[in-house]
Structure 1
Amino acid sequence: MGLYINNNKYPDVFKNQEKIPEPNQKLVRIDNLTEIIDEQQQANVSLINSINEIKNQFLNQEVVQASHWDKVTNQLNELTISNQSHKEYEELIIDLLKTQEELQKQLAEKIRKQEEFQTEVFTRLEQQEALTEKIFRQVNHIRSILFERTNYLAEKIDEGYKMTSSYVYNLMTGSDQPITFYLMNNKKQKNK
């Protein structure tokens, strides 16, 4: 909602023709709840980035594996078609097996790294869950304090009202009897 200026009665109120220097804020007050929410938002962004990174690594790994298997398949097809000698065929198979073994080691290493990353993600999720639980407890604590203060203020207002009404009644009637006594007499007379 924009600022309302009443041009008929007060045309110059809230008008400034000069440029306001920035920043014009001298004091920033941050409470614990705001900091906790900011930390949780940062944790959420970090978690999303980590999940996207895992996804990209997985997709890249799939492409690399497909490329390697294509190479192996092409080499085997070339061997069959060219009908090379048995010795060359064995040497090539040994080389391919070494390459498959290296690929397995690389894949095992990448899987290990991925498992470590997943463990880190689970740790972050547990931390976020603990943070959420902490916020929940703090909100419940604030709620109980507000309830207690509200009851206390209601009692004080009720006491003040009774004292004020008795005082006003005494001023108006000149009687020293409390207003409750007067109300009880009126009730008895109406019942008769």
Structure 2
Amino acid sequence: MTTSKAILIHIVDDDEAFRDSLVWLLESHDYRVACHDHAEAFLAGFRPDAATSCLILDIRMPGMSGLELYEELQARGNRWPVIFITGHGDVPMAVQAVKRGAYDFLEKPFNQEALLQAIDSALCAAANLQQDEVQANQCESRLQALTTREREVLDRVIEGKMNKVIADDLGISIKTVEAHRGKMMDKMGVRSIADLVQTVVAYRQQKGKPAA
């Protein structure tokens, strides 16, 4: 898990007193904090390749709203976790934001512990997502290294077909199936059919493809 000192928390809120209180809270828990008094100021310095980050956005601000900023970041492919801060009247809007992929929202007034827990949870979820993406990219590279025949064997193994059935499907001998299967397993970096199935199914789910 990334330590809090390596994490940058962006606060985008037009309320200076509120920003100051959050800075005090977060810095006292060893987070690095960057404040922006409006969405446009944040976008002006936005770097998608920056250090691990979490955004705390006021959902309603003058000019570009927090929701509009979130939609812009989504359009740019940004995956940082976002926690919205909202007043009572904007809860329905915040719920819609969560449905679109925002991590959470907190309704003012909220206690400090609730915010800290939301940040910790959001960062854990983001770290897990990043790890899933790394593993999916690794699996994709390995799949691309397979020959056409090895890929045909893999697809049938994933479907649960035995070597004899695969041989009949492809019009080749069982020994040839076994040879392709062995090379395919080596290239995929797995030691068992269970590992192969778990790896490929997880990859297809990550990429939104059918599992079988």
Per the normalisation by structure 1, the TM-score is 0.23
Q: Which has the higher helix share?
A: 1
Largest Rg, 1 or 2? 1
Greater relative CO (CA pairs within 8 A, separation 6+): 1
Per the normalisation by structure 2, the TM-score is 0.22
